[in-house]
Structure 1
C-alpha cells in the first residue's frame, strides 16, 4: 500500500468515526494541493494566515504536529499560524471545546499533551466529563475550565471552525490552508514533511 493510499480522506475518524463535510466552494485540483475558489480573506488583519485543520483523535495529526510546531517558528512576522479543530461529526465537538478552552485560558502548552494522552497513553478523553477530569489532573482549575468549556465564547469559536472547515472543503486531517488560496495535506503530497514543504512553497509564492 502506498503512503498516499494510506492517508484516507477521513483520517480524523480513526477513533470516533466521521461524516465528511462537503465544500460549497469549487476546488481546482493539482498534484500536490487544491486551489480554494473563491479565495478566502484573512481573519487576522494585516497577516497572511496558515490554517492548520486538525483533530485530536487523528493519529496523523499527532504525528505531523511536531513538524508543524517546528515550521511555525520559522514563519515571517507577517504570517500567522492558526489551528482549527475539526469535527466530522457531533461526537467530536467536545474535543473542539477542549482546544478552544485551553486557548482561552492561555494553556496551549497542554496542546501536545492532549495528543500524547490520546495516542500514546491511550486515554479516552473524548467526552465532556473525561476531558474536564483530565485537564484538572494537569493542574488547571477544574471549575474555571468547566466554565470556559461551556461558555458562549467557546461555542462561537466552534461555529467559526465549522464554517472554515466547510468553506475550505476540508475532507480529512491534517490539512493546511495557505493564504486563503491553497489547501494541502499528506493525502496530496504523500508525506508529513512533504506537506510542510509544499505549504512553505505556496507561502513563498504568495510573497512574490
Structure 2
C-alpha cells in the first residue's frame, strides 16, 4: 500500500483544516498546525500513550483494529518506541471498518482501567480473525481482563468521547484513512517502513525545533 505525505494547513480553530500535498509547501512552515489542533491531537487525556510520556516529540497514529495495514504496523511502532527514548506515541482509535471495529475500539479503551491496554492492543492487532465481539472478548480473556468490568467500562463517557473526537478530528483534517501517522505539521497515510517512520519523526523534530 503506497503512502501519501500530507501537510496539515491551518484554519480557524481546527474546524477548517485541510490536507494538502507536501510538495505544495515550502520549508518555511507557511501553514503551521494551530495550537488548539495540536493540543487536541497530542494531549487528549482519553488517548492511550506509549513510549516516554515526557518525550520531546509526539507521534500520533489513527488506526482501526480491522485495518490490515494497521496490523502490519504494530511491530514497526514498537521498534521505533524501543529505539527512541524521547518519543511519545499517542493512539487515536478511529473505527472506520464497521461495528466490529467500533466494539474493538470501545473494549480497547476500556481496558485502560485494568492496566492492560498494551497487551490487549497488541493481541487485537496480531490476531488473524476479524475484530468482532466474540474474537475481541476471546483476546480479552487471554490477556487476563475482567470481562464484566470491561463491558461496563466500554459504556463510559471517556470512551465515547475519544471515538467521537477521533472521527471529528479526522474529518476536519481530511484524513484519507488508516493508518495515518502525524508528527510536526505532517501526516502520512499508509504503511511505512521503520526507516520512513523514523524520518517522519525527525522531520517533526526539525519542524518544531526540538533536540
Contact 1:60 1:173 in 2 (8 A): yes
What's the counterpart of residue 54 of structure 1?
A: 63
Asked if residue 192 in structure 1 is aligned to residue 196 in structure 2, the reply is no
Contact 1:185 1:195 in 2 (8 A): no
- Unaligned ranges ≥5, structure 1: 9-22
- Unaligned ranges ≥5, structure 2: 5-14, 45-53
Question: Could you say if the C-alpha distance between residues 32 and 110 of structure 1 is closer, same or farther in structure 2, counting changes exceeding 3 Å?
Answer: farther
Asked if residue 141 in structure 1 is aligned to residue 146 in structure 2, the reply is yes
Q: Under a length normalisation based on structure 2, what TM-score does the superposition of the two structures give?
A: 0.69
CA distance in 2, matches of 1:112, 1:102: 12
Contact 1:87 1:96 in 2 (8 A): yes
Structure 1 runs, 4 residues or longer, greater than 6 Å off: none
What's the counterpart of residue 9 of structure 2?
A: none
Q: Secondary structure at the match of 1:41?
A: helix
What's the counterpart of residue 109 of structure 1?
A: 119
The total of aligned residue pairs comes to 179
Q: Secondary structure at the match of 1:49?
A: strand
Question: Could you say if the C-alpha distance between residues 31 and 195 of structure 1 is closer, same or farther in structure 2, counting changes exceeding 3 Å?
Answer: farther
What's the counterpart of residue 89 of structure 2?
A: 81
Question: Could you say if the C-alpha distance between residues 66 and 166 of structure 1 is closer, same or farther in structure 2, counting changes exceeding 3 Å?
Answer: same
CA distance in 1, matches of 2:16, 2:98: 20
Question: Could you say if the C-alpha distance between residues 63 and 130 of structure 1 is closer, same or farther in structure 2, counting changes exceeding 3 Å?
Answer: closer
Query: What is the correspondence of 1:1-208 to structure 2 with a 5 Å cutoff?
Result: 4=2, 24-30=16-22, 38-39=33-34, 40-43=37-40, 44=43, 48-75=57-84, 77=86, 79-88=87-96, 90-91=98-99, 92-107=101-116, 108-117=118-127, 122-127=128-133, 130-179=135-184, 181-186=185-190, 191-208=192-209
Q: Under a length normalisation based on structure 1, what TM-score does the superposition of the two structures give?
A: 0.70
Question: Could you say if the C-alpha distance between residues 193 and 75 of structure 1 is closer, same or farther in structure 2, counting changes exceeding 3 Å?
Answer: closer
Contact 2:137 2:147 in 1 (8 A): yes
Root-mean-square deviation (Å): 3.2
Q: Give the structure, 1 or 2, with the largest relative contact order (CA under 8 Å, sep 6 or more).
A: 1
